[in-house]
Structure 1
Amino acid sequence: MGITVEFHNDGCALIRMQNGQNRWNLTTLSQLNNALDEVERNKSASILVTTGEGKFYSNGIDLDWLNSIGRSSDAGRQFDTVIRDTLWRVMHFPMPTVAAINGHCFAGGAFLALCHDYRVMRSDRGWISWNETLISLRITDSLILERKLNIEALRESVIFAKRLTGPEALKLKIVDGIEIESNLISVSKAIGFKALGNNVIQRIDLQNMKKDMIPRTIGVSKL
């Protein structure tokens, strides 16, 4: 199925992740970056919305694949670099970005959602969590979490790895809104367009401001 891009007449670019649980390996990250390239090439696109399909937004890193190749292998080290670069690419994307979280959103998938400017989660189904504590993994580069989560959200969703529903995530300000599935994309689009308002913001200026306000630092993230 892969990852597809739709361009709507209103200026929304919609990326749909359709790889089952949408786990991240070198192949799926390449698909995502190709989709982001396509969005950037389209000069009529003014906002970006990403979503999954079915039960999952993203279930994080493809640990079966990563364990099969070895994290210390050349491919494993390449993966660490690519996933880190991809997260920061989304963080600094040159247009408003909204994650329409249609289902479960765990670990590396939750990192991806958090790197968007805004997040809208289903109100009736799905959890968001950084579940590394539960699977004996470390997060050695916490900059994204520190910049995006308040202390209560960090405690509940990361340290204690609680599976948070949409209403719980909204209360902790992890997401900006909750909606039923049928309205998820339309509400996400509305948030993206509201971010721009009537302003004419050049892509490069928006990207530079994001880089200035949330600068990237050197470090390898073990998601």
Structure 2
Amino acid sequence: MYDMSSEKVTVEFTDDGFAILTMRDGENRLNDEFIQLLNDSLDRVLSNENCKALITTGEGKFYSNGVDLKWISKQSMEVSTRFRKNIQALFWRFLHFPLPTVAVLNGHAFAGGAFIAIAHDYLVMNSKRGWFSMNEVRVGMRIPPATLEVLSAKLKNKQALREAVVFARPIPAAEAKSLGLIDEIGELSTLIGTAKKLALQSLGPTGIDRDMLQIMKKDLYPSSLMDNDSIKSKL
């Protein structure tokens, strides 16, 4: 195996054909720099023709704690507007990624971090640590229309929508699985193995062409508010 790394985001390519993207910046708050690092990492994954699936995870207590509110509060209107477009483009990039994607929630996934996770094909969660919550209502923020489309595409359970979004209740792993927010839960040490198993099952014995997989995802999860063909990997 080998890895391609920045200090804050690393990509490890395993001998069995997986890319493991690990966010290593504490709470993994989303700002211009961090989004660029994530996009650069996704570029590296796609440049590896031997990679058959993407797994994302974090370190310690957090998968991602969402938007860097301290950073965004200090930005100009121009920067803030560009950032909102870029973060929504990132959600859609994960949703339409041309490989199977599995989010391994090592810890808390809040707000924008939860949206990144739910844009994956599969989610697995640490049974011992972490909450899942889209807590925008708690911090006085509306969910932008393009992000609402991501939510509508992936979250069909009305009870899950009410608890995790409308009332922004922090949902622990077992309940998150019962609500259909999470596919599997388990001990942290088992989650990467579980993620690999889910990805391999999705590909089946013959695999799926990358271009065809992306076309299928775009057909099933269309966006009326963003031209997904125009989303570039570089911001």
Shorter-chain TM-score tier: over 0.9
Displaced runs of 4+ in structure 1, greater than 4 A?
none
Correspondence for 1:198 = 205
- Paired residues in the alignment total 217
The TM-score normalised by the length of structure 2 is 0.90
SS at match of 1:75: helix
Correspondence for 1:67 = 73
Are the equivalent residues in 1 in contact too, given 2:91–2:150 (CA < 8 A)? no
State whether structure 2 residue 45 is matched by structure 1 residue 16. Answer: no
SS at match of 1:212: helix
Greater alpha carbon shift after TM alignment, 40-49 vs 146-155: 146-155
Greater alpha carbon shift after TM alignment, 19-28 vs 147-156: 147-156
The TM-score normalised by the length of structure 1 is 0.95
Q: Distance in 2 between matches of 1:75 and 1:199?
A: 45
State whether structure 2 residue 186 is matched by structure 1 residue 179. Answer: yes
SS at match of 1:105: strand
Correspondence for 2:4 = none
How far is the alpha carbon of 1:148 from its aligned partner? 1.3
Q: Distance in 1 between matches of 2:52 and 2:61?
A: 28
Correspondence for 2:105 = 101
Q: Gaps (5+ residues) in structure 1?
A: none
Correspondence for 1:132 = 136
Letter in 2 for 1:53: E
Equivalence map 1:30-69=2 (5 Å): 30-69=36-75
SS at match of 1:69: coil
SS at match of 1:86: helix
Q: Distance in 2 between matches of 1:107 and 1:177?
A: 20
How far is the alpha carbon of 1:140 from its aligned partner? 3.3
Q: Distance in 2 between matches of 1:12 and 1:82?
A: 26
SS at match of 2:74: helix
Q: Distance in 2 between matches of 1:131 and 1:80?
A: 17
- CA RMSD for the aligned pairs? 0.9
Q: Gaps (5+ residues) in structure 2?
A: 1-6, 227-235
Greater alpha carbon shift after TM alignment, 99-108 vs 197-206: 197-206
